[in-house]
A and B are shown apart, each in its own frame.
Chain A
Amino acid sequence: MTGGQTESHSLRGPIDRPALLAIRDLFNGNEPLATAKLDDFLNPRALKVEYDDGLRSAERSRIDVQWTTRNDYKYHYTDSEGVNLRWGRHPHNGDYIQVPGPEHYHPPPDASSDPSTVEESCIKQQPETLVTLAVLKLWRAAYHANSLTPLNSGKNPP
């Protein structure tokens, strides 16, 4: 049974509106292809970032962002080709056997949550500014490489 496991993998704390606003402004200010909006201006549960293009053959894509008062987060990518992947930070009780810390990556094509396939995330830093700048840069690197590999390799070779 995985019922208990799912609960121990939850984000800690309420969603933080002030953090979502800061992340919204970073997407809107740094990425000409992206338009970021709170899902509900007064009672937001997520930030929706719509891209006018997608990675590889996808024509559109979206990143849904959740960030809590305790700095747990999810950045979930989904596109018009049905590809999903997600960077996250939350406790997992050691269930993700390849992941030593709370930061992890649910790989494409389906953002798998299978404990043996979840990878260690290449994003290690804390403040939401740096996490968001990293996601923006990784998306661009993948966009220009026409490959999903840079998303968690954390590198952009010349």
Chain B
Amino acid sequence: MTGPAEPEPFEDINQAVREEWVAGTTPYERVREVVSRTYAPTDADTLADRAHTSPKTARKHLNTLADDGFVTTETGANGATLYRRSAESLVVEQAADILSEVSTEELRDRIAEMRDQIGEFQQEYGVESPEELAVDQTNALLNESTRAGEEPDDETIREWKTTRRNLAFANAALSIANAEKFVEAGSQTDNETVSSS
């Protein structure tokens, strides 16, 4: 079996992988990658730091990415521009990834399954959302009235939030698939009308 090559000697793993990353990518690629999964509004200096480039370069690329709709901007409390991944762009990206591997039929089944799962959480804990659950938990702790056994743990809350987020991506994928079908069907009908007349 061909094993992986032995890595070059290194003194500090953080520096070693940082240098590897910087050597193998352009500043634009790193800025795009860092901001692609930045979901909380963040200033250009912080993003520049994470992407290992200068604030000036980061700002230039972030503004280009904002023009392209990949990033959304807002003005922070101190007047600085804050950047984060555009939710719309993220949803479209995930939907495309899903549609490249999953049939519409399977997607429908799985969406129903995820909806059921969320319904079960809602029924079991008597709240509409995991956020309400967290508030309930805090109140219970403050009142010291925690009843062991009936409290969902953090794992359950994360599972609920995760399923809700993935359901949103799956729903978007199904909507896009349906929209494409009708848009394509429409254009075909138009062609038929043209050819039969």
Contact = CB atoms under 8 A, between A and B. Distances in A.
A74 B71 CA distance: 27
A126 B102 CA distance: 32
Interface of A: 6-7, 10-11, 13-19, 21-22, 31-33, 41-45, 52-53, 68-69, 122-130, 133-134, 137-138, 140-141, 143-144, 154-158
Nearest to A17: B166
Contacts of B36: 18
Contacts of A15: 158, 162
B90 A18 contact: yes
Given A13-B161, A141-B7, A143-B3, A42 B33 contact: no
Interface of B: 1-14, 16-18, 20-21, 33-34, 36-37, 39, 50-51, 90, 93-94, 97-98, 101-102, 107, 110, 114, 153-155, 158-159, 161-167, 169-170
Majority-rule SS of A interface residues: loop
Given A42-B102, A129-B33, A18 B158 contact: no
Nearest to A18: B37
A7 B21 contact: no
A11 B4 contact: no
A2 B5 CA distance: 43
A144 B4 CA distance: 9
B157 to A, nearest CB: 8
A138 to B, nearest CB: 6
Contacts of A21: 97
A127 B162 contact: no
Majority-rule SS of B interface residues: helix
A39 B166 CA distance: 13
Contact of B39 (A11, A69, A122, A125): A69
Contacts of B102: 41-42
Given A130-B14, A134-B14, A156-B7, A43 B94 contact: no
15 contacts: A14-B161, A18-B90, A21-B97, A22-B33, A42-B98, A42-B107, A42-B110, A43-B167, A53-B3, A68-B158, A69-B165, A130-B14, A140-B7, A143-B3, A156-B10
Given A140-B4, A140-B6, A155 B11 contact: yes
B9 A154 contact: no
Those 7 A-B pairs whose CB atoms lie nearest each other, nearest first? A10-B154, A14-B161, A133-B17, A158-B9, A154-B13, A14-B162, A144-B6
Contacts of B18: 125, 130
A10 B7 contact: no
Contacts of B164: 14
A108 to B, nearest CB: 17
Nearest to A4: B141
Contacts of A44: 166
A60 B50 CA distance: 34
B194 to A, nearest CB: 40
A82 B5 CA distance: 25
B10 to A, nearest CB: 5
Nearest to A137: B7
B125 to A, nearest CB: 15
A143 B20 contact: no
B13 A123 contact: yes
Contacts of B2: 32
